[in-house]
Structure 1
């Protein structure tokens, strides 16, 4: 358990100093570790940590749970509050996706689930579209979590850079295989791996996550994109019922991750 605590402790560096305990996330991470092979577990824990602790902040004293709103099509869920100012980042993301994915809103999961303040939710992202987004469609709410980790960050948090030659779909020892895992070597040498996760385990934070599509784009410079296309969550801070399917499909994730719009400029 000590290695889990150390990994997650490093993963939340730079995300402020929340006053609440991270015990619930450690407990969930430990369960994930038992369900995954050791090498893959470290990366999954980083994704969980990013999903639970590192949130965007646009500055000022606005509500950190809803930093912005952008519509990629008509919203199927009514709202009683006045529209928030449009987010340039959410608008750029919406422009890359078909309108039928629903309404896209940039959110802070830490603010939603833990009632974090803007200071606690503050962080710095590397990619221009990195962040956490709510997708509202047909009365449900799902989430997209996108994070780019450079070589140095991966070496600090996991002890090694990302390796495009690693087969994340391969089963090692007695660890369970990833469900519906697809590994694709791209023409430029990068490797895209996607799989489904039932998320059939629970933590101590009164939140239950629905099934999701997980993706990793491993790049030749040792960096890696990590993405979760989640059907949503139930419990404290939920914005609505689960979606019936992840907000972005496997092909939509591939198009998004392999496009130039997600890469840092320069």
Structure 2
């Protein structure tokens, strides 16, 4: 399954019947990539073509802090919770990563309202963050999926013993893929994705680092460190490199700050 899609799937989970689908952010890009790489089954293609993503139901967690760009639709002042999350994330990273702000990709790209863009959060730092430095804007997307969410999506819990760097069936191979077994029965896999396709909503994503931390209880963290996007809702040029390096992603994902309390 496409890992970009997994992150949006989690961010948009539990929706009612919104006016538009969050899958439009990546659906066309996912279809083109699968055709180019011959990397997905007809069943997966059918799910993507049908618009598998839906907007989050209202009444979830606090509003994110959407950026004020003309094409992003209605904007709102950052909530105290969103500013606090961005501040706690910044405290874990070196100053040279740039200015950090929590945003909503659905609001930026699809013009979703704050109510539509709300989402449940399992981890204390789960969210979508803009990184501004050297005149460019990149993004970090962090999502924790519990065992139940993974089982609903894949039919089984996340398995730390599974080697994600090994190509299975028609799944696309992961470029520059590294897998590391960690203490406590966890496994961290990181890889590069060129994202060299465009979507049907005028959005083109730059290269990124992606990662997955699988935990022994069957849960997993999904992360994207993206150089940014161009087109509808863009906040600035692409970064030359992903906002967080592979080593910084590992330090973040393996730290206690991203784990739920209690």
Structure 2 counterpart of 1:58, from 58, 62, 79: 62
Structure 1: runs of 5 or more not aligned: 68-82
Mean CA deviation greater in 129-138 or 119-128 = 119-128
Deviation of 1:18 after TM superposition, in Å, equals: 3.2
In structure 2, the residue matched to 1:13 is 13
CA distance in 2, matches of 1:15, 1:152: 17
Q: Secondary structure at the match of 2:88?
A: helix
Deviation of 1:118 after TM superposition, in Å, equals: 1.1
Matches within 5 A, 1:253-264: 253-264=249-260
In structure 2, the residue matched to 1:203 is 199
In structure 1, the residue matched to 2:188 is 192
Q: Secondary structure at the match of 2:184?
A: coil
C-alpha distance 16-114 of structure 1, shift in aligned 2 (>3 A): farther
CA distance in 1, matches of 2:192, 2:38: 13
Cα deviations by residue, 1:118-149 (Å, 9 ceiling, x for unpaired): 11111111000000000000000000000000
Aligned 8 A contact 1:18 1:116 in 2: no
> Are 2:130 and 1:134 equivalent residues in the alignment?
yes
C-alpha distance 30-123 of structure 1, shift in aligned 2 (>3 A): same
Q: Secondary structure at the match of 2:183?
A: coil
* TM-score when normalising by structure 1: 0.78
C-alpha distance 162-15 of structure 1, shift in aligned 2 (>3 A): same
In structure 1, the residue matched to 2:176 is 180
Cα RMSD of the aligned pairs, angstroms, is: 3.1
* TM-score when normalising by structure 2: 0.79
> Are 2:119 and 1:115 equivalent residues in the alignment?
no
Aligned 8 A contact 1:16 1:121 in 2: no
Matches within 5 A, 1:74-89: 87-89=83-85
Q: Secondary structure at the match of 2:185?
A: coil
Structure 2: runs of 5 or more not aligned: 69-76
Deviation of 1:38 after TM superposition, in Å, equals: 5.3
CA distance in 2, matches of 1:32, 1:151: 28
Deviation of 1:93 after TM superposition, in Å, equals: 0.2
Query: When the two structures are aligned, how many residues end up with a matched partner?
Result: 235
Query: Following TM superposition, where does structure 1 have runs of at least 4 consecutive aligned residues deviating by more than 6 angstroms?
Result: 8-11
Deviation of 1:178 after TM superposition, in Å, equals: 1.0
